[in-house]
A and B are shown apart, each in its own frame.
Chain A
């Protein structure tokens, strides 16, 4: 039956190609704009590590000013980063399966090969669990052990792009290079890895690229590495040296823990609270107890990764789709009306209302499917345009550019929108034509329009 309906629909659509083209164009435009904005939105609001969402938790402790909350826009929340002494104290716990403390610093990498230019490399100073905890893929070698953090050992992991620039993409494990003029040995090279958003460190932009090199946590103190990320201080302290800074209330470290189950979560929470109470007794942490273990999706929400502008664009896209579909409803009504004589014949020959309705719905579905296919292609074009809009002349990369590609999600979106469009735009006209009387159809006025010219006197 569907095959027959499709044949009928095809021949009907071919009869008035102009109207058909207009309908397809309207649906395609609406779907294209929706797919474009939803593709970017999905990229922004997506959880890059959903399979570990319930395991990974950002750790935060409120060590802020007694009179002012750390975050103006979220006064109920603690600062997003930790002070050194809190981070180090918590790292000692064996409740988490894995725990990571980290920050980013500026580095310059040189291979020592004659003629090779040194490379600036933003570097993550992190404890060993980072790679296993965030499921970071390796192309060559592996990360380091907890012992290397203690040493600290001069070992380094390179991102794949940096390995490409320094060693032409070859397996560089075992090679030595100079990081800020200190000798380091390459122990691992990452595979392509670009979590979007960069959930584990949202400071300096949620769409930033991951760092290009990774060195053991111990180097932070050993080489007195300053943070190249964001750091915030509230307490009047001299901060005259690196040691001062480390002992201060300034927050600048990201801490994450992997907790096996709800029990571990509870134990970790009580450990945090106990620690905070001890600190309060010692005269620190003047604010009310506010220690948090935040899973990834909540963390992204708490940090406003999806901005109001992004939501406005999605709303706008759906308003646009609505107008396009309203337009299509009108066009379909006109289209069905034109084919009313055929419909009347079919009704007269015994086709049921339901069958007529389904047949016309098939025609609407065909239009919307074509619209979705064209819309997807158009969305590809729009996303390309978006990448152009976000192109920068200065070599920096905007994260939107990484998101603005036709993704599997965009195709699913287009399919879903096609079904939605068929139902929204096709259901009413199909129902109308289905319930019109056969005789009225044969007269070519199925929608009940009556010629009553007598009232039209000039």
Chain B
């Protein structure tokens, strides 16, 4: 095997423009690939993270009273009794907000009275079927009982008890078990922690404290009401249709606003993240393709320009393998030069992106995978021209000198 690089380097040196153009393309492609991969991975993880609920079997109904005769309490009682009586419904609860639906409230909760800094928590008001309707798991304590549910109230009303997600309980009580301990509301009134929820997502998917959720036993204020309904597996769609029909006509003093499945709410919440990942992937793939075309074009051009030399080499005894190796090596040299510049560019761009926009910085794994990918693409793109070069018959050398 002859691994002599000198003739190849000389050939590149003699007409460096093409090689330089391709190396630049490779460098840019690698920088984009590495950084895009980091961002896409981050978004895919974000979209795919578990929300703690029984998403495929849940839906939400929004209604709103609007007439003078409208009786909020009576409506809730009637609607919830009807919903809970439906065959196929596992649980139904009125709720002040819908997880993953961009509208809800947060408040500071403190672990001692008189403290200024509270821990921000996403607050949900629900009734005794709240946990069952959410489909979340309680790891300690107990759910609310029907008698414990407080009537609607505005503002900072005193609360006897509260359920916390484990993530919230950990930041409030880093020293250990939160069950049975007291937290304090803004007016310094104590609230007893009566249950710990394993995991649950709140309202704002871009919030870094998405899993800091607290549930309080209270009927939310009217005149708008949200019902969270959980069904048996596979019965959601039929029940959604049935509920929509009923709610639209059952009570003329109120209006059915919408009925949405939890899956569609989840999809909507992550739409921008999902689409960014799709767009980045598509453009990066197209970019790699264009760069591959560049490598292919350069190799094709080189083969065409040096047909006579190839013939001469073949006539002087070079085997086909030598010719293929020559062109693949030449292409790899260009790719390697481009990749080296690309790694520097990727690191610089990644640093800038992370400092300016808090985007993830490319890791070593991304970098090495990217370099390997670019290298393999380079070889594949040069393969066909190299084979074509090897097919040049030695007789070419004798024809046109």
* Residue ranges of A at the interface with B (Cβ–Cβ < 8 Å): 22, 26, 29, 33, 67-68, 106-108, 110, 117-118, 120, 180-181, 204-205, 236-242, 244-245, 308-309, 311-313, 316-317, 319-320, 322-324, 326-327, 329-331, 333-334, 386, 389-390, 392-396, 398, 400, 432, 447-453, 455-458
B31, B255, B322 pick with most chain A CB within 10 angstroms: B255
Q: Do A327 and B297 form a contact, CB below 8 Å, given A26-B290, A392-B271?
A: yes
A-B contact pairs, 29 of them (CB 8 A): A22-B297, A26-B293, A33-B286, A68-B117, A106-B64, A181-B66, A236-B188, A240-B155, A308-B356, A311-B357, A317-B283, A319-B31, A320-B286, A323-B294, A324-B290, A326-B24, A326-B28, A327-B290, A327-B297, A333-B17, A389-B278, A400-B272, A447-B15, A449-B15, A449-B305, A450-B14, A451-B308, A456-B312, A457-B313
Query: In the complex, what's the smallest C-beta–C-beta distance from A444 to chain B, in angstroms?
Result: 10
CB nearest neighbor in B for A432 = B17
- Which B residues lie within 8 Å of A453 (CB)? 308-309, 312-313
- B64 contacts which of A120, A389, A450, A452 (Cβ < 8 Å)? A120
Q: Do A452 and B14 form a contact, CB below 8 Å, given A118-B255, A309-B272, A319-B287?
A: yes
Q: Whole-angstrom distance between the alpha carbons of A453 and B309 in the complex? A: 5
Q: Do A244 and B155 form a contact, CB below 8 Å, given A327-B290, A394-B265?
A: yes
Decide: B258 and A323 in contact? CB cutoff 8 A: no
Query: In the complex, what's the smallest C-beta–C-beta distance from A441 to chain B, in angstroms?
Result: 15
- Which B residues lie within 8 Å of A22 (CB)? 293, 297
Decide: A308 and B287 in contact? CB cutoff 8 A: no
Q: Do A240 and B154 form a contact, CB below 8 Å, given A33-B286, A181-B66, A311-B357?
A: yes
- Which B residues lie within 8 Å of A395 (CB)? 258
Decide: A316 and B36 in contact? CB cutoff 8 A: yes
- A309 contacts which of B15, B155, B276 (Cβ < 8 Å)? B276
Q: Do A333 and B309 form a contact, CB below 8 Å, given A236-B187, A312-B39, A323-B291?
A: no
Decide: B257 and A120 in contact? CB cutoff 8 A: yes
- A393 contacts which of B267, B291, B317 (Cβ < 8 Å)? B267
CB nearest neighbor in A for B294 = A327
Q: Is B366 an interface residue (CB 8 A)?
A: no
Decide: A394 and B268 in contact? CB cutoff 8 A: yes
Q: A237-B155, A244-B155, A320-B287 are in contact. List 14 more A-B contacts (CB 8 A).
A: A26-B290, A236-B156, A237-B186, A241-B154, A323-B25, A323-B290, A324-B290, A326-B21, A326-B294, A327-B25, A330-B22, A330-B297, A393-B267, A449-B14
- B359 contacts which of A241, A308, A393, A394 (Cβ < 8 Å)? A308
CB nearest neighbor in B for A313 = B279
- Which A residues lie within 8 Å of B32 (CB)? 316, 319-320
Q: Whole-angstrom distance between the alpha carbons of A8 and B127 in the complex? A: 80
- Which B residues lie within 8 Å of A432 (CB)? 17
Q: Is B10 an interface residue (CB 8 A)?
A: yes
Q: Is B173 an interface residue (CB 8 A)?
A: no
Decide: A458 and B313 in contact? CB cutoff 8 A: yes
Query: In the complex, what's the smallest C-beta–C-beta distance from A224 to chain B, in angstroms?
Result: 11
CB nearest neighbor in B for A324 = B290
Query: In the complex, what's the smallest C-beta–C-beta distance from B263 to chain A, in angstroms?
Result: 9
CB nearest neighbor in B for A327 = B294
B70, B268, B317 pick with most chain A CB within 10 angstroms: B268
- Which B residues lie within 8 Å of A311 (CB)? 357
A118, A330, A333, A432 pick with most chain B CB within 10 angstroms: A330
- Which A residues lie within 8 Å of B10 (CB)? 455
Query: In the complex, what's the smallest C-beta–C-beta distance from B58 to chain A, in angstroms?
Result: 14
Q: Do A334 and B297 form a contact, CB below 8 Å, given A120-B257, A240-B154?
A: yes
Decide: B280 and A316 in contact? CB cutoff 8 A: yes
Query: In the complex, what's the smallest C-beta–C-beta distance from B226 to chain A, in angstroms?
Result: 13
- Which B residues lie within 8 Å of A108 (CB)? 64, 66, 255
Q: Sort A-B residue pairs by CB-CB distance and give the 7 closest, nearest first.
A: A239-B155, A308-B357, A108-B66, A458-B318, A236-B186, A453-B309, A181-B67
Q: Whole-angstrom distance between the alpha carbons of A389 and B271 in the complex? A: 8
- Which B residues lie within 8 Å of A316 (CB)? 32, 36, 280, 283-284
Decide: A239 and B156 in contact? CB cutoff 8 A: yes
Among B291-308, those with CB < 8 Å from A are 291, 293-294, 297-298, 301, 305, 308
Interface footprint category on B: 35 or more
Decide: A333 and B18 in contact? CB cutoff 8 A: yes
Q: Do A456 and B258 form a contact, CB below 8 Å, given A308-B358, A333-B17?
A: no
Query: In the complex, what's the smallest C-beta–C-beta distance from A170 to chain B, in angstroms?
Result: 23
Among B139-164, those with CB < 8 Å from A are 153-157
- Which B residues lie within 8 Å of A26 (CB)? 290, 293
Q: Whole-angstrom distance between the alpha carbons of A292 and B214 in the complex? A: 36
Decide: B66 and A239 in contact? CB cutoff 8 A: no
Decide: B290 and A313 in contact? CB cutoff 8 A: no
- B68 contacts which of A68, A181, A237, A240 (Cβ < 8 Å)? A181
- Which A residues lie within 8 Å of B287 (CB)? 319-320, 323
Q: Is B7 an interface residue (CB 8 A)?
A: yes
Decide: A458 and B317 in contact? CB cutoff 8 A: yes
Q: Is B116 an interface residue (CB 8 A)?
A: yes
- Which B residues lie within 8 Å of A33 (CB)? 283, 286
- A238 contacts which of B2, B155, B260, B291 (Cβ < 8 Å)? B155
Q: Whole-angstrom distance between the alpha carbons of A320 and B33 in the complex? A: 11
- Which A residues lie within 8 Å of B265 (CB)? 394
Q: Whole-angstrom distance between the alpha carbons of A244 and B313 in the complex? A: 94
Q: Is B41 an interface residue (CB 8 A)?
A: no
Q: Is B368 an interface residue (CB 8 A)?
A: no
Q: Is B51 an interface residue (CB 8 A)?
A: no
- Which B residues lie within 8 Å of A107 (CB)? 66
CB nearest neighbor in A for B120 = A72
Q: Whole-angstrom distance between the alpha carbons of A307 and B28 in the complex? A: 24
- Which B residues lie within 8 Å of A326 (CB)? 21-22, 24-25, 28, 294
CB nearest neighbor in A for B188 = A236
Q: Whole-angstrom distance between the alpha carbons of A449 and B307 in the complex? A: 13
- Which B residues lie within 8 Å of A448 (CB)? 15
CB nearest neighbor in A for B26 = A323
Among B240-295, those with CB < 8 Å from A are 255, 257-258, 260, 264-265, 267-268, 271-272, 275-276, 278-280, 283-284, 286-287, 290-291, 293-294
- Which B residues lie within 8 Å of A456 (CB)? 7, 309, 312-313
Q: Is B372 an interface residue (CB 8 A)?
A: no
- Which B residues lie within 8 Å of A120 (CB)? 64, 255, 257
Query: In the complex, what's the smallest C-beta–C-beta distance from B286 to chain A, in angstroms?
Result: 7
Query: In the complex, what's the smallest C-beta–C-beta distance from A40 to chain B, in angstroms?
Result: 10
Decide: B317 and A323 in contact? CB cutoff 8 A: no
Decide: B18 and A330 in contact? CB cutoff 8 A: yes
- Which B residues lie within 8 Å of A309 (CB)? 272, 276
Q: Do A458 and B294 form a contact, CB below 8 Å, given A312-B39, A312-B359, A323-B287?
A: no
- A106 contacts which of B117, B188, B224, B356 (Cβ < 8 Å)? B224
Q: Whole-angstrom distance between the alpha carbons of A264 and B176 in the complex? A: 59
